[in-house]
Chain A
Amino acid sequence: MRVLIVEDDNSLARQIQQQLVEQGFAVDVAVDGEEGLYLGREYDYDAAVIDIGLPLLNGISLIQTLRAEQRRFPIIVLTARGHWQDKVEGLEAGADDYMVKPFDFPELKARLQAVIRRAAGFVQAVLTFDDLSIDTHTQKVVLGGAEISLTSYEYNTLLYFAHHPGKVISKTELTDHLYDQDYDRDSNVIEVFVGRLRKKIDPDGTRKPIKTLRGQGYRFEYQP
């Protein structure tokens, strides 16, 4: 999942970035509102974490502008003061949740996963597709009652597919959502991940949950 962090405090922004990357997120960081707006317009993020008190363009205006431009990705707004006025304004501007500083990283991660899941139309933390289930809290994947072991990238690839069932996903889109903008992209790596993933979630090759559409990309065939 690719996340945009817009936070003017560089130490905090880098800390969030580092911890999210460790959890398998692709993270881009903007240190002011205008840079945040540029990145938000340029890339299709899975979620954004936006601080209210930003230089150049404040967080509320940034969210309003993104929403006005039909950028639908879920947003968590960060507030230092914790005033309800700020929280309500953030939510009214188009944010989906709020967090008051200082916060625990595990809580931010959980909230991020929740808003991403909700945006994809899932209410529960466990996404179930036939006999395949993905627990977004514990990151455990169970197939036919048995837990299967996935690497971080494999899990993130599966999670992205699971959040967009039935949608044609190009390799570029997959790359965009799995790697941050600084990553040296190689579409062959995606093919390798998808190949490994197919073997793990469809070991006998009968279900074919991830279909390849020549020249277009992939489609997750399961429906929740």
Chain B
Amino acid sequence: MLIPLSLAVIGTGYFIAANNSAEAAQRQYMQLTVYLLLANADINHNGELVMGPLIEEPRLANPQSKFYAVVSNEQGDVYWRSASSVAVSLPQLATDLQLVPFGSDAFSMGIDDMSHYRRPVLWEMGNGDQVKLVFHVLEDGNWVSQQLEENQGILRASYVLTTVLLLAVLLFIVRWGLQPLSALVNQLQRVEDGMSDHIVGRYPSELQDLVGAINRLLENEQKQRERYRNALSDLSHSLKNPLSVLRNDINTLTGEARTSADNAIARMQEIIDFQMQRASIQSIDSVVKQRVNLYELAERVVRGLQKVYAERDLDIGLQGEAAWLSGDKRDLIELLGNLADNACKAATDKVRITITARQGEVLLSVEDDGPGVEASMLEQITQRGQRADQYKSGHGIGLAMVADIVANMRASMTLQQSEWGGARFDVVIPCPRQINL
């Protein structure tokens, strides 16, 4: 915005300067003509003004030249006029002659469409008398304007051309100058989309430090996450092993003591599971995301579940197509695993997982032919520890985890009845940018 404004100001100044320069040149030219007239003028012994041949300025002899010279007295009475002005009606010459002192001059442009230069002179004659003469040089204003206009046309064209060229050069310089930054932004985008875990490419020395710092930051973030994950894993391991021992030791107890110990251990287990899994959800916190094909993850989960539920001879089907997302692979596999495992537990004979890639989102459907769950129970189920099912195993926190992951991914989940009468969970996961492979 500033650049075009500056160019407009420069252009205006340029035109004013060009006009002033043209006016000064005109004045100077006319002044020289007056000097020529003075050099060729004389007053003879009869007191008459006599003018030489004026060969130095042929325009004064040419009636087509629109360039005229006149010598008058102070009142504007003409003593002599150039041959070029013979057929022309001259403007009033005496308008301001009294105001122009002898020895100085006056110039006006565009009055009566004429440029007019006049110079009063006190002419001393041989007998010592003085005659007051005024030398005028006039030029047809239209012609001058035309000349000026022609010049200005050229000026305007060259100004426009210069401006366009300048803007193009500026644009090129800006683009060329910003190219490394643009490449850096693209690389960061790739990192965010999970297509790379660090910034690659060659950058100017000014940006090398910045790129190095960003890469170190990304690396530290990933290491930090890994350390955090390992620490959680160790903590989980350290808590769960003694809990396992305790759980099996209380099998020797009976009656109320057994029930009470069972409940306490189940509660501890639930708290540990829920808090550990919740703490490990990565989707939002992580800068570096992964490029994940949800369909491929679903294939892995289905293969695993087919092994686990081999005895029940469940038909665990997977339909759909490759659906790429940027997110955390662990969270997505947790989402898939919990939904599909719950469906397997509830199913009588079959479970179906469907993945559909749509414009800007991916739809994941997990359905079974079990007894089904009321849609209004979704909120209740997804609360920690709430159970709306009759599953034989599981800790009831699976769906609460799913709800947390769904919320963190800014996805949405609905519960409906499947075509077989069982439950169908639909999860719509937003995928704002198309991830190119």
Contacts and interface: CB of A to CB of B under 8 A. Distances in A.
B400 to A, nearest CB: 13
A96 B307 contact: yes
A9 B240 CA distance: 10
A102 B337 contact: no
B5 to A, nearest CB: 59
B313 A101 contact: no
B300 A88 contact: yes
B311 interface: yes
A103 B345 CA distance: 18
A207 interface: no
A9 to B, nearest CB: 4
27 contacts: A9-B242, A11-B242, A12-B242, A12-B245, A15-B249, A53-B233, A53-B234, A80-B237, A80-B239, A80-B241, A81-B233, A84-B337, A85-B333, A88-B301, A88-B337, A91-B307, A91-B308, A92-B304, A101-B244, A102-B240, A102-B246, A102-B269, A104-B247, A104-B248, A105-B251, A118-B311, A123-B313
B301 A84 contact: yes
Interface in A91-110: 91-92, 95-98, 101-105, 107
Interface stretch (B58-66, B272-280, B285-293): B272-280
Interface residues of B, number: 41
Give the interface size class of chain A. Answer: 20 to 34
Interface string A71-93: 00000000011111101100110
Max chain B CB contacts within 10 Å: which of A15, A19, A102? Answer: A102
Nearest to A114: B311
Contacts, number: 93
Given A12-B241, A12-B245, A98-B308, A84 B338 contact: yes
Interface string A103-142: 1110100000010001000010000000000000000000
9 nearest A-B residue pairs (beta carbon): A84-B337, A102-B244, A91-B304, A9-B241, A101-B240, A80-B240, A102-B243, A80-B237, A102-B247
B334 A103 contact: no
Contacts of B276: 81
B307 A87 contact: no
A139 B269 CA distance: 31
B36 interface: no
A88 B305 CA distance: 9
B303 interface: yes
